[in-house]
Protein backbone atom coordinates (compact mmCIF):
# COMPACT_ATOMS: atom_id res chain seq x y z
CA UNK A 1 0.00 0.00 0.00
CA UNK A 2 2.68 2.51 0.97
CA UNK A 3 4.79 1.85 -2.09
CA UNK A 4 1.98 2.32 -4.62
CA UNK A 5 0.43 5.62 -3.50
CA UNK A 6 2.40 8.82 -3.19
CA UNK A 7 -0.46 10.47 -1.30
CA UNK A 8 -0.39 7.79 1.39
CA UNK A 9 3.39 8.08 1.78
CA UNK A 10 3.25 11.88 1.95
CA UNK A 11 0.38 11.73 4.44
CA UNK A 12 2.22 9.31 6.70
CA UNK A 13 5.42 11.35 6.58
CA UNK A 14 3.61 14.61 7.34
CA UNK A 15 1.65 12.96 10.15
CA UNK A 16 4.84 11.61 11.72
CA UNK A 17 6.52 15.02 11.56
CA UNK A 18 3.52 16.73 13.18
CA UNK A 19 3.30 14.01 15.84
CA UNK A 20 7.00 14.39 16.59
CA UNK A 21 6.51 18.15 16.97
CA UNK A 22 3.59 17.54 19.35
CA UNK A 23 5.85 15.33 21.52
CA UNK A 24 8.87 17.65 21.42
CA UNK A 25 7.05 20.92 22.14
CA UNK A 26 6.03 20.10 25.74
CA UNK A 27 9.37 18.46 26.45
CA UNK A 28 11.16 21.58 25.25
CA UNK A 29 8.95 24.22 26.90
CA UNK A 30 6.95 22.62 29.74
CA UNK A 31 9.31 20.12 31.40
CA UNK A 32 11.85 22.81 32.40
CA UNK A 33 8.98 24.55 34.23
CA UNK A 34 8.05 21.34 36.07
CA UNK A 35 10.83 21.81 38.59
CA UNK A 36 9.21 25.01 39.88
CA UNK A 37 5.52 24.21 39.45
CA UNK A 38 4.04 20.78 40.27
CA UNK A 39 0.79 21.57 38.43
CA UNK A 40 0.28 23.19 35.04
CA UNK A 41 -2.70 24.70 33.26
CA UNK A 42 -4.33 22.15 30.98
CA UNK A 43 -7.40 24.03 29.73
CA UNK A 44 -8.36 27.66 29.15
CA UNK A 45 -11.88 29.01 28.94
CA UNK A 46 -12.51 32.52 27.62
CA UNK A 47 -15.18 33.12 30.26
CA UNK A 48 -13.40 31.80 33.34
CA UNK A 49 -9.73 31.75 32.36
CA UNK A 50 -7.74 28.67 33.28
CA UNK A 51 -10.24 26.12 34.55
CA UNK A 52 -8.27 22.87 34.62
CA UNK A 53 -4.94 22.18 36.29
CA UNK A 54 -3.09 18.91 36.48
CA UNK A 55 0.26 17.23 36.94
CA UNK A 56 2.90 17.77 34.29
CA UNK A 57 2.59 14.29 32.82
CA UNK A 58 -1.01 15.06 31.76
CA UNK A 59 0.41 17.33 29.07
CA UNK A 60 1.36 14.19 27.10
CA UNK A 61 -2.26 13.07 26.70
CA UNK A 62 -2.59 15.00 23.42
CA UNK A 63 0.47 13.47 21.71
CA UNK A 64 -0.48 9.99 22.90
CA UNK A 65 -3.98 10.54 21.51
CA UNK A 66 -2.36 11.62 18.23
CA UNK A 67 -0.26 8.44 18.16
CA UNK A 68 -3.35 6.33 18.78
CA UNK A 69 -5.23 7.98 15.90
CA UNK A 70 -2.21 7.69 13.60
CA UNK A 71 -1.97 3.95 14.26
CA UNK A 72 -5.73 3.45 13.96
CA UNK A 73 -5.98 5.39 10.70
CA UNK A 74 -2.96 3.57 9.25
CA UNK A 75 -4.55 0.20 10.03
CA UNK A 76 -7.83 1.32 8.45
CA UNK A 77 -5.93 2.54 5.39
CA UNK A 78 -4.10 -0.76 5.05
CA UNK A 79 -7.26 -2.83 5.40
CA UNK A 80 -9.38 -0.77 3.02
CA UNK A 81 -6.74 0.12 0.41
CA UNK A 82 -7.47 -2.70 -2.02
CA UNK A 83 -11.25 -2.91 -1.55
CA UNK A 84 -12.24 0.74 -1.06
CA UNK A 85 -9.45 2.99 -2.24
CA UNK A 86 -11.52 6.15 -1.75
CA UNK A 87 -12.01 5.38 1.95
CA UNK A 88 -8.30 4.74 2.31
CA UNK A 89 -7.44 8.05 0.68
CA UNK A 90 -9.96 9.84 2.90
CA UNK A 91 -8.15 8.54 5.97
CA UNK A 92 -4.83 9.44 4.37
CA UNK A 93 -5.92 13.06 4.07
CA UNK A 94 -7.70 13.21 7.44
CA UNK A 95 -4.73 11.94 9.46
CA UNK A 96 -2.38 14.93 8.93
CA UNK A 97 -5.29 17.33 9.48
CA UNK A 98 -6.02 15.66 12.81
CA UNK A 99 -2.33 15.79 13.76
CA UNK A 100 -2.20 19.48 12.84
CA UNK A 101 -5.23 20.17 15.04
CA UNK A 102 -3.66 18.33 17.97
CA UNK A 103 -0.38 20.20 17.46
CA UNK A 104 -2.26 23.52 17.53
CA UNK A 105 -3.97 22.47 20.78
CA UNK A 106 -0.59 21.55 22.24
CA UNK A 107 0.91 24.87 21.17
CA UNK A 108 -1.94 26.78 22.84
CA UNK A 109 -1.50 24.82 26.07
CA UNK A 110 2.22 25.62 26.02
CA UNK A 111 1.46 29.30 25.46
CA UNK A 112 -0.94 29.32 28.42
CA UNK A 113 1.79 27.95 30.68
CA UNK A 114 4.49 30.40 29.66
Using one digit for the tens of pLDDT, what is the confidence trace for 3-46? 677 888 899 999 999 999 999 998 888 888 777 877 888 888 88
Query: Does the pLDDT of residue 1 top 70, yes or no?
Result: no
For residue 75, give its domain range. 6-113
| E-only strand ranges, 34-90 | 39-45, 49-55
In a domain, 106, yes or no: yes
- Are 82 and 39 spatial neighbours (Cβ–Cβ below 8 Å)? no
Q: What is residue 3's predicted lDDT score, i.e. its pLDDT? A: 64
Q: What is the pTM of this model?
A: 0.85
In a domain, 48, yes or no: yes
In a domain, 1, yes or no: no
**Percent of the chain at pLDDT exceeding 90:** 38
Average pLDDT value for residue range 86-111: 91
- Are 9 and 15 spatial neighbours (Cβ–Cβ below 8 Å)? no
Rounded Cα gap, residues 112 and 40, in angstroms: 9
Mutual orientation of helices 6-29 and 85-113 as an angle, nearest 10°?
A: 10
Amino acid sequence: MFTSSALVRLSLLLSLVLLFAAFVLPVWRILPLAEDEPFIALHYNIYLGVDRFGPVWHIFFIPILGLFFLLLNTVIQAVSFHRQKTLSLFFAVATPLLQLTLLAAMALIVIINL
